[in-house]
Structure 1
């Protein structure tokens, strides 16, 4: 039987749409939007984004009455376990109230619901960034009013871990892996038998620095920096999540440019990459302890995983821990399609958001 799956992934400046038959992509497109359009409040973006998706369907001869399921990127919800969830009224209310945060991804499930409503099509999300499977031992900090939270590249991390397990002839729930997603933010997750029991907050500066994020900072020095510059909470969040890392150190988030400079002999660029490699390696080592050394593989993914230079800098620090494999880039659309497919085939149960 052939299942027909529509996949939606809304980002800040674009709308990604793809049509799959079972797990095979038939057609896809990244729909770019104008600066004036994406400058609108998020809820006011719904009409033009919905229209652009409908145009994609019309141009490719895809009728909604033939679609079995619509799989959407998950937005900023309350913490939940990994898996595929049906879009329901509670989820829609939380996504459109922005109580858990405001991002264009919140609109993905809203549009999926709108498209599917008149055709009785199930809308779903799979492994949103708020997946929280942390064990209690890693939540506690040295201040009783502050706990660690789980915000990471859950969709891509879990997809890569599943692919690795399949390569071993096993299920995701049978392996222990450390997954390192290296993109605009860097997250390192300890996956134990299908659950991410420890991971750094890749959004607001926990763990390694990255092209746009500061990473963990010395507490006293950062507190003094905030005090001296009389920063607001919004300004602090902007600095550590959008103006840190490569941008702060080199004035650009372009990793390829910095890498070329390092390879051409620029000492500061080389020092930056060496520091980055050590920070990532230390984070991997931290996850290895949580897994008690029982590691089937260390898996690198994300855009920066294309850099053999960076991977080779990291390897000497971590290859004693286990086999290293690279899955460069991101396969979010494929992962969303496969999440829906697992539900359609009965491999996984559709979860309820409550």
Structure 2
């Protein structure tokens, strides 16, 4: 069987893709289509011939997939459908229906559509990409890999909200988590770097990007995570508030007359670091702090405080922590965030070596001092490779 998998991550106005050789872990080609549905789309394809950039209309996801195939044909690597073991698709919300990746058929498409009520911004475009790709590759197995699947191992005490249980059951209200593909990849890679079986390792993964989440992983299984029913709960993010007293919503409805849509926009798109400091880009926040901006300084302190609170909580839940691992855009590139998020936790065996921590990290590394009780890593995430691996495993197990 071929070890090549085409991974597709379809958003509302974009499609990210990679052609991977799972056996070697090599990305044979990567690309990004943006501004789908707008008058002029932007296209970037990186393959054996180098980088190709184009601007042309991409009216919908069907046209987007057709454009991707044309890019492979013109700029390589060239392949036939028979060369693919699978097409792997990122899907954000699998609810409690999909504890793992699954071969896509019409029934799975229907289920993904029904779960859109839990992820209205993500599942519909994920499904658009699946449908377009199934049309383009009708003879290739398609596999849906869900962000929520890794967190289906959460115990009831972790995923249950303390609200009326009949209402919760009727409307599927519980904590589902997100970023599961990244957390799974990083937790497994952390164990490998420690030279241990994942079943023997407890790790706290800090996925810090514009969206941010923390996960406690015990023996390779997610046992607690910061995101909840939606990706709004948890850490302070680029534009999302993270944890907030629910009564804030009622208060703003009553005293400010804000509608549900206005509140949704406030908490998801105008809060977080943007709401606190005026910018969702952490580099701008650091520049403002360096220039003496006390508002930006407070914003950073809120950001650090929230991460530290989750680390302490997850340490308590795990009982023993072998490693803490930073990943994603901020986690990999922001040494100020890394060192300040763990400052003051030395009594827990958590220390960061300032020299090892300095600068952006493009490769896996240890940033804790030798002999530290808890090893602190920076590990660049590779969600596409994880999706490709899981897709290949599903196809192999199914005998398709």
- Shorter chain as denominator, the TM-score bin is 0.7 to 0.9
Aligned equivalent of 2:222, options 179, 182, 196: 196
1:194 positional shift: 2.4
CA RMSD of superposed structures (Å): 2.7
What pairs up with 1:200-279 in 2 under 5 angstroms? 200-201=226-227, 203-279=230-306
1:135 positional shift: 0.6
Q: Structure 2: how far apart are the matches of 1:171 and 1:18? A: 29
- Higher relative contact order structure (alpha carbons within 8 Å, sequence separation ≥ 6): 1
* Per-residue Cα deviation, 1:208-258 (whole angstroms, up to 9, x for no partner): 221111111234444312321223333222221111112212222121111
CA 316–208 in structure 1, closer or farther in 2 if over 3 Å, else same: same
1:127 positional shift: 3.8
Question: Does structure 2 conserve the Cα–Cα contact (< 8 Å) formed by 1:206 and 1:215?
Answer: yes
* Per-residue Cα deviation, 1:254-285 (whole angstroms, up to 9, x for no partner): 21111121133322212211221011110121
Question: Does structure 1 conserve the Cα–Cα contact (< 8 Å) formed by 2:240 and 2:267?
Answer: yes
- Asked if 1:63 corresponds to 2:80, the answer is yes
Q: Structure 1: how far apart are the matches of 2:202 and 2:186? A: 12
Partner of 2:330: 304
- Asked if 1:128 corresponds to 2:147, the answer is yes
Q: Structure 2: how far apart are the matches of 1:261 and 1:338? A: 42
Q: Structure 1: how far apart are the matches of 2:101 and 2:345? A: 33
Secondary structure of 2:177's aligned partner: coil
TM-score by length of structure 2 reads: 0.77
* Per-residue Cα deviation, 1:53-88 (whole angstroms, up to 9, x for no partner): 222332221211221111111243333565332112
The number of equivalent residue pairs is: 340
User: Unaligned 5+ residue runs, structure 2?
Assistant: 42-58, 350-373
Q: Structure 2: how far apart are the matches of 1:221 and 1:67? A: 50
1:113 positional shift: 2.7
Question: Does structure 2 conserve the Cα–Cα contact (< 8 Å) formed by 1:138 and 1:148?
Answer: no
- Asked if 1:334 corresponds to 2:385, the answer is yes
What pairs up with 1:1-354 in 2 under 5 angstroms? 3-22=3-22, 23-34=25-36, 36=38, 45-59=60-74, 60=76, 61-80=78-97, 82-96=99-113, 98-102=116-120, 103=122, 104-117=125-138, 119=139, 121-129=140-148, 131-144=151-164, 145=167, 148-201=174-227, 203-291=230-318, 293-305=319-331, 306-318=333-345, 320-321=348-349, 322-328=374-380, 330-343=381-394, 349=397
TM-score by length of structure 1 reads: 0.86
Question: Does structure 1 conserve the Cα–Cα contact (< 8 Å) formed by 2:95 and 2:176?
Answer: no
Q: Structure 1: how far apart are the matches of 2:263 and 2:65? A: 34
Q: Structure 2: how far apart are the matches of 1:236 and 1:68? A: 44
Q: Structure 2: how far apart are the matches of 1:139 and 1:252? A: 32
| More deviation, 265-274/27-36 | 27-36
1:125 positional shift: 2.3
